[in-house]
Chains A and B, each alone.
Chain A
């Protein structure tokens, strides 16, 4: 692609790079810098809401104060968020992989209907009060299990589509060989197919974890109550209860941003792959 590049072209390249760095840096890094700086300031200094270097560093104090606020609610909230995210993602992966396997491998006249149902899961906004009514009817409203199953129901379409697209690349000869060796459908699926889905499982797990961890609406509706709060809910409530303690608010935001950041550092490729899989034709 590159051959003898003229001096003018090279200068243009550096000019463009410098301008993009500067503009994108201001737009996309300043908000994060603001969060980090405000999180380590004193209460008075943070309440000025300025983008300044802290005159006094209060990392440890602010950190401990946020953790201990309201009887260590943040720790309870982190525990709840982890339980919710891990269970919902694990259940989604198994249920979606099973369904996608049959959907991709066994064409039938029901497939158009099933495909339509799967797609509607991506488009239709969930009906809130009727969902509460159903949850209440089966005794799962205001329970963690109820919220977990709601997250599974709302996310399973996306997972099925990713699994189905990947299964196209898994040769059917493997199924036939396994069946000839006397494997039943369960063994075929869990011993042969599931291990081969590893790359797409990682993608699904990472993308769904970030989505469910960041979810605010569903916990708000389906799991109300202080002791059940997830991190996003405590963050929202924190704002109204400690409205002038901006240092603690931003320390809270900072702590809540860390898990997605870690995910991104390790799995940026899978995340991007999962989120862009509709973009390329063929």
Chain B
């Protein structure tokens, strides 16, 4: 759910002071011994790095945990040929891009609203942020009830204003989008507080100077907030893409990938294949997810940070 990005590893703060450098070697080792890394490294390597590395091998096998049989790229071929699995791949991209884009736009708008001088600002901020902290399963089950096609709260409200309510989770064309909508509802608060932090860090003088020049509210937004909130935009895009592409709990709670497999994503395919005992195929799904996430997030992160440096 939560992660922090220190854009670029070069942001070590004040450069290490020369004295520390000069007295390196024995003294630094005595003060900051490498074995301090050891406990974290052991847990991290054994339970995260090793599984990640061996996943590349086991994705090429028919795997039953007790033994394995090397079958080359058969699992991957299956992944790109089987309709259910291809749907999962496409849906993952739709879901990730959609939720991420919506969180950027809505998060920015809400942040502008919630940094203006409206009444009850702090309360509104808390209200928008609170869903971030709530159990995803709980949110999923709640919205499943709210989106009930027969007399659920949302459809009743739509009916009251004369609109036909769709079968949010039961109609194959809407199921994935409905889950994405709930994901946006739950996650937009995080985007909002990230943008708020970005906006309040903009020096007041810019707005003062803009007022002297007779800038309108739109000018303030377009020429001050938008460019100077860029680090926040980078963080929001990267965080919500990582979260969205890996998303599992909400989809699994609300639709279980259904109706049929129309709202399956890679993460739910991984779980289904695991349950069915196709461990090799499930692991191939993990490798596909790994490739999708890194192929999108890493270049994007690099590109966004480079553009930031140019400003």
Name A residues whose Cβ lies closer than 8 Å to a Cβ of B.
1-2, 13-14, 16-17, 20-21, 24-25, 27-31, 34-35, 38, 48-51, 94-96, 98-99, 101-107, 111-112, 114-117, 119, 121-136, 138, 149-150, 152-154, 156-158, 160-162, 164-165, 168-169, 172, 175, 179, 184-185, 188-189, 207, 210-211, 214, 216-217, 220-221, 231-232, 235-236, 239, 246, 249-250, 253, 256-257, 260-261, 263-264, 268, 271-272, 274-281
Interface 9-residue window, one of B97-105, B133-141, B162-170: B133-141
The 8 Å CB contact of A125, one of B30, B43, B246, B253, is B246
Measured between C-beta atoms, what is the minimum distance from B270 to chain A in Å?
Answer: 6
Contacts of B14 in A (CB 8 A): 168
- Determine if A123 and B37 form an interchain contact, defined as CB atoms under 8 angstroms apart: no
Contacts of B153 in A (CB 8 A): 30, 34, 49-51
- Determine if A278 and B113 form an interchain contact, defined as CB atoms under 8 angstroms apart: no
Q: Apart from A106-B31, A126-B51, A214-B135, list 7 A-B contacts with CB within 8 A.
A: A98-B37, A149-B47, A160-B40, A216-B253, A250-B142, A279-B235, A281-B201
* Closest residue of B by beta carbon distance from A280: B201
Write 15 A-B pairs (CB below 8 A) sorted by A numbering: A21-B124, A27-B185, A28-B128, A34-B153, A153-B47, A179-B31, A185-B32, A214-B136, A256-B135, A263-B133, A275-B4, A278-B5, A278-B239, A279-B195, A279-B235
Q: How far is the CA of A89 from the CA of B58 in the complex (A)?
A: 31
- Determine if A29 and B127 form an interchain contact, defined as CB atoms under 8 angstroms apart: yes
- Determine if B138 and A257 form an interchain contact, defined as CB atoms under 8 angstroms apart: yes
Q: Which of B3, B274, B308 has the most CB of A within 10 A?
A: B3
Interface 9-residue window, one of B83-91, B172-180, B278-286: B278-286
Contacts of A107 in B (CB 8 A): 12, 16, 21
Q: Which of B44, B132, B136, B156 has the most CB of A within 10 A?
A: B44
* Closest residue of A by beta carbon distance from B228: A281
Contacts of A271 in B (CB 8 A): 133
Q: How far is the CA of A175 from the CA of B27 in the complex (A)?
A: 12
Contacts of A111 in B (CB 8 A): 9
- Determine if B44 and A156 form an interchain contact, defined as CB atoms under 8 angstroms apart: yes
Q: Is B39 an interface residue (CB 8 A)?
A: yes
- Determine if A216 and B137 form an interchain contact, defined as CB atoms under 8 angstroms apart: yes
- Determine if A133 and B293 form an interchain contact, defined as CB atoms under 8 angstroms apart: no
Q: How far is the CA of A157 from the CA of B242 in the complex (A)?
A: 15
